[in-house]
Amino acid sequence: MFETLPALSPDPILGLSAAFKLDNNPKKIDLGVGVYKDEHGNTPILKAVSQAQAVLQERESSKVYITPQGHQGYIDGMLNLLLGEGSSVLKDKRVAAVQAPGGCGALRILAELLVRVNKDTVVWVSDPTWANHMPLLGDAGLTLKTYPYFDKDSASIKFDEMMDCLKGVKKGDVVLLHGCCHNPTGADLTNEQWDALAALAVKNGFLPFVDVAYQGFGDGLEEDAYGLRLLAESVDELVVAASCSKNFGLYRERVGLAAILTKDEKTASIAQSQIQSVARGIYSMPPSYGGALVDIILADEALRNVWQTEVAEMRDRMITLRKLLVDNLVNQGVDKDFSFVNQQKGMFSFLCIAPEQVQHLRQEHSVYFVDSSRVNIAGISLANVEVLAKAIADTLKA
């Protein structure tokens, strides 16, 4: 029966990784896969995580299933991290949440829940958005539409066009927003723009759906939560997907959170039963290990301080790499102004060059990133930034 299945095109990023491994150029550069890397190209285990692993090794006495919603300590810690210790939403017990297998798992759980609410739900996503948003949400049966977000010609957010589009979004529709460090562009809304967006959500009654995958990688753990916290305090209902892959470095542990903010405690209780039911129908019980580590880190003041320092170090390194890339491009005498790279935030930037130029970089200089021109800033290093700048300069002159 399986012979009836059509062959699918390979995933573009996984295909890039395979091509990179086969490339024999000793100066090859991988800016494709979205994982944080240190100066040596490794994705390190954070010191806070290593210490938490030792604590868990001593503490854990059983491998029996954990509760269906996950580690409650993890859920509480993450909600405080996302919404703030003094959140009125948390005080009023208006939140339903489950530990999810990664940010992807959180997105899919929430998508399935939205289908239960209304199978004809429309979700508006930014143009562009993270490519995996499409299958995670669309394959659940949701209808996807796009709103304007980024202009490659000016390397800036089309905020006026975005707002004009969202003014026409009807009550009951869902608007997916990147909480910070927009993937793939790195272009984030200002606080003033978040203010205007929150006011529009209140006025028009659409449901904000905030994806938070990079908290702490933009301006800081508190600063990066501005938009999410504003919406949480402004609207009656909100959907949140969060990931611990980047800021805790727990990529392979698949640690995420799916949360629903409701208008009152009674509705939250109903939503809790439904979100757990969705999770039960997908994977039955949640994984334990990664969530337990995050719980330990967030609950221990000393470990939390170590983790916060490490997040700041990763953020500062990426800010430095942005500046180094821009400075090296200036030194190479390129005509194009790349100063916008310094304004973009987090792991990713759009270089705003053409697909054929991306291909030229790959074929002639062994520099690998996707055709959209999204680059992983963390893949740059002190050792390769000059080589990268020379390659880009050569490509723009070709």
Active-site option among 124, 130, 194, 307 = 130
**In terms of Cα–Cα distance, which of 269, 290, 277, 279 is closest to 108?**
279
Active-site option among 173, 211, 224, 295 = 211
Instruction: Tell me if residue 203 is catalytic.
Output: no
By the 8 A CB rule, do 181 and 223 touch? Answer: no
Place of tokens 């509760």: 67
Instruction: Tell me if residue 246 is catalytic.
Output: yes
Sign of the torsion formed by the C-alpha atoms of 107, 300, 61 and 49: positive
User: Burial letters for 233-260: b for 16+ Cβ neighbours within 10 Å, e otherwise?
Assistant: ebbebbbbbbbbbbbbbbbebbbbbbbb
Instruction: Tell me if residue 307 is catalytic.
Output: no
CA atoms within 13 A on the CB side of 370: 20
**In terms of Cα–Cα distance, which of 9, 8, 42, 15 is closest to 370?**
15
Active-site option among 28, 37, 158, 246 = 246
By the 8 A CB rule, do 88 and 79 touch? Answer: no
Amino acid at 247: N
Give me the active site residues, please.
130, 211, 246
